[in-house]
Amino acid sequence: MTSAKPSSLRVMGVGCLISLICYLTGMLVFLTPLPLMYVSLLLGRRAAILTAMAVFAVIGGLYGFVLPLSAMAKAFLPSAPLLQFFTETGLVVLVLCHFLYFAVIGLGLAEGVHRRLTLGRWLGLALFLGLFVLGLAAVVIEGGTTIPLLKGVHFFIDEIIGDMAKLPEFTSGLGAKAYVLTEHREDIAGVAFQLMPSMLFLSSLFVVVMNALLGRRFLGLKPMFRHIHNIASFRLADGWIWTLIAAWALLFIEFSFGYGDGVRAIALNAAICVGSLYFLQGVAVAMYALQGIRIPFFRLSVALFSLFFFHISVVAFIGLGIADVWLDFRNRIRRAKKDKEIETDS
């Protein structure tokens, strides 16, 4: 037996353990793809798939063993509250599909590196694979619910809003917030249900971008990422702007003439999804501009301001991303630098 095999098994074992811990902790669940991505880049696709299968088997065995036990034992499982909507078998299927979603994102990111894809295609591949698995999971999970899946999701959102109305943050003072939530509970739940597709898209985009950034920065495999520029180079194809314009036009027409909730839901989801991509483009433009500033404190201050005033930053970055379609700020910055270098040389 060669010495490479134990080290490979060790890497796979550690990757399996870290991925399992990230998934079961709940708070770090979005980092579940990162160890699988590392294993794939270091040992290859086959090793990563075997590692994912090992985690898959452990999670399935854990839930299959604990669910038939007492309610106290079930309480330690992150997904235990969902038992009111699922059978025990259905919950196991849900959890396994949920892990598979993260695993596919990790394997997709690694595959993009193996294939030496550009930044946009790299992120797009992992995002597409994750959303594709979500779609398949919805079809599979439908058979494991005690009620129809869509109806169950709507009921689940309604229950969350009802629980929020009972929180001290909403009942303090005159209780105006709790009154609004209680009186308009069905309307709020309806809007939240209509926006579920875009919320799933946003959460998937967050998982993909975070794992891509952390993987490129901290996995210690920078030579494999040489062909992938940092996030500052991210730019959508110009044609995407027409999707955003069409979505907002459809929203305006729907609010003016009223064509039903279905049209509004399609327009809102399209606007949010494409808007989130232009948010990324705006962040990329800002990062590109900040690269030329060699004052760490200033760059840190901008980052902290963006986090503390996130509601303002979101609008600003989306606007910056949209304006970049026509103004191409990064190209202007590059030309300004070249002109300055020419003047200096002359």
Q: Residue 138 in contact with residue 149, Cβ under 8 Å?
A: yes
Q: Is 275 inside any structural domain?
A: yes
Residue 208 and residue 66 share a domain: yes
Residue 100 and residue 10 share a domain: yes
Whether the predicted pLDDT of 59 surpasses 80: yes
Q: Is 155 inside any structural domain?
A: no
- For residue range 215-267, list pLDDT tens digits in order: 888 887 877 887 776 778 889 988 999 999 999 998 888 887 776 677 888 99
Q: Is 332 inside any structural domain?
A: yes
Whether the predicted pLDDT of 150 surpasses 90: no
Q: Is 174 inside any structural domain?
A: no
Residue 283 and residue 203 share a domain: no
Give the predicted TM-score (pTM) of the model: 0.85
Q: Is 177 inside any structural domain?
A: no
pLDDT higher for 49 or 345? 49
What 3-state class would DSSP assign to 145? strand
Residue 208 and residue 259 share a domain: no
Could you give the percent of the chain with pLDDT greater than 70? 81
Domain boundary among 179, 213, 247: 213
Q: Is 90 inside any structural domain?
A: yes
Number of separate domains in the chain: 2
The residue count of the chain comes to: 346
Helices 185-194 and 176-183 meet at what angle, rounded to 10?
Answer: 70
Domain range spanning residue 9? Answer: 1-146+195-213
Q: What is the mean pLDDT of residues 4-10?
A: 70
The reported pLDDT for the residue numbered 5 is 45
Residue 245 and residue 128 share a domain: no
- For residue range 322-333, list pLDDT tens digits in order: 999 998 888 888
Whether the predicted pLDDT of 145 surpasses 70: no
Residue 54 and residue 199 share a domain: yes
Residue 110 and residue 42 share a domain: yes
Domain boundary among 182, 213, 244: 213
Q: What one-letter code names the amino acid at 106?
A: G
Q: Is 165 inside any structural domain?
A: no
Residue 50 and residue 19 share a domain: yes
The reported pLDDT for the residue numbered 4 is 43
Residue 252 and residue 110 share a domain: no
The reported pLDDT for the residue numbered 102 is 96
DSSP 86: B
Q: Residue 63 in contact with residue 93, Cβ under 8 Å?
A: no
What 3-state class would DSSP assign to 32? coil
- For residue range 178-229, list pLDDT tens digits in order: 666 677 677 777 778 888 899 999 999 999 999 998 988 888 787 788 777 6
Tell me the backbone φ, ψ of residue 342, rounded to 5 degrees: -65, -40
Residue 239, token pair as written in the block: 């044609």
For 303, half-sphere exposure in the C-beta direction (CA atoms, 13 angstrom radius) is 10
The reported pLDDT for the residue numbered 90 is 76
Average pLDDT score over the chain? 83
The reported pLDDT for the residue numbered 322 is 95
Residue 307 and residue 336 share a domain: yes
Residue 242 and residue 125 share a domain: no
- For residue range 60-119, list pLDDT tens digits in order: 998 888 877 766 666 667 776 666 667 777 788 888 999 999 999 999 999 999 998 888
Please list the residues that pair with 145 across neighbouring strands: 86
Q: Is 152 inside any structural domain?
A: no
Buried b (16+ CB within 10 A) or exposed e, 139-157: eebeebbeeebeebbbbeb
Residue 238 and residue 127 share a domain: no
Residue 16, token pair as written in the block: 């399996």
The reported pLDDT for the residue numbered 300 is 82
How far apart CA 314 and CA 101 sit, in angstroms, is 27
Domain boundary among 213, 241, 256: 213
Q: What is the mean pLDDT of residues 115-140?
A: 90
The reported pLDDT for the residue numbered 157 is 73
Range with top average pLDDT, 113-117, 125-129, 235-239, 340-344: 125-129
Residue 195, token pair as written in the block: 């926006």
